[in-house]
Structure 1
Amino acid sequence: MKLDVWERIQDMFQRIESQLAEEVRKSSGLGVNEFRTLRTLIRQPKREMRMQELAEFLHLTQSSTTRLVERLEKRGFVYRDSCPSDGRGKYCVLTDEGHRYINKAIPALEATLESVLDSFFAAEDARSAVRELSELSLT
């Protein structure tokens, strides 16, 4: 029973993530992790984050994070900078262009997310799985 509910929740999440990824790509030209990177950087006090911390946040390997940041660099949204206290450490820094871009993209993407979630959770099987998950958390 619990395993069945968990599998349904995983399936729902994967379907939501897939739909959202497609909508993010269409509306902003970004992948979900690229969008998450920019959104994360905009919320940092200095609009920067160590590459290693970014990789951990995104649940990506160092090399995947490097490739992602390279794609964002090519668009002028971020740049990499050396860590002053550790020459080996690198920061990913949001540019003014990246800041403007993500600020324009956020409202459209929030509307997209709301639409995807509304349509998804209108289905009875989704509501049922959420109820079952809630019941599991109480046991």
Structure 2
Amino acid sequence: MKETRWLNAEEQHAWRAYCNASALLEDTIDQQLRSTMGVPQLYYAVMVRLSEAPGRRLRMTDIAEQLKISRSRLTHMVRRLEEEGWVRREDCPTDKRSQFAVLTNEGVAALERTAPGHVSTVRAAVFDHLTAEQTRCFAEICETILNALTDPHGPATTGLPWRR
């Protein structure tokens, strides 16, 4: 049996600070988007990904992978965005099992109305409190953790949500 490598005091402090900050940050951003747009942060993230894609369209499976969520959860989210008129689905002409999500003109307009408040919230919650060097370190740390978690030989090798 492998011996547990317990966190030392500094690691425990960092872990708890991360957990608390992450939960509060996610809630802050989610509440801002719900109050201004009427949808949670993850729905907004779908629309942002689509707005940045060529032709404002992506395969549903690609969106799920980019956002690290299950395909069934994404399907539910896109259904809600369709009800708002912000996204539509299209069948893939080359693969009958695939669908594209497409950001509509109404979706673009909703993003344009919402983005300034969202950016202000992100700035006020995160970047207004960091120096340029801290911002670079923050990005490097987050990328390192993300790479470790998405490495096929890393700790999360089974059950990745976008493959469900």
Q: TM-score range by the shorter chain?
A: 0.7 to 0.9
CA RMSD of aligned residues (A): 2.4
Look up the match of 2:90.
81
Distance 1:82 1:2, change over 3 A: same
Identity %: 25
Q: What SS does the aligned partner of 1:86 have?
A: coil
Look up the match of 1:62.
71
Q: Higher helix share goes to which structure?
A: 1
Question: Paired residue for 1:114, among 114, 117, 123?
Answer: 123
* AA matched with 1:38: M
List per-residue Cα deviations over 1:22-46 (Å, max 9, x = no partner). Answer: 1111122121011111111101011
Q: Higher strand share goes to which structure?
A: 1
Count of matched residue positions in the alignment of Structure 1 and Structure 2: 126
Look up the match of 2:14.
5
Q: What SS does the aligned partner of 1:92 have?
A: strand
- Structure 2 residues without counterparts, runs of 5 or longer: 1-9, 145-164
- Structure 1 residues without counterparts, runs of 5 or longer: none
Question: TM-score, structure 1 length as denominator?
Answer: 0.80
Look up the match of 1:91.
100
Task: Tell me which stretches of 4 or more aligned residues in structure 1 moved more than 6 Å.
Answer: none
Matches within 5 A, 1:10-49: 10-49=19-58
Q: What SS does the aligned partner of 2:34 have?
A: helix
Relative CO higher for 1 or 2, CA cutoff 8 Å, sep ≥ 6?
A: 1
Structure 1 residue 10, shift from structure 2 partner: 2.3
User: Which stretch shifts more, 30-39 or 8-17?
Assistant: 8-17
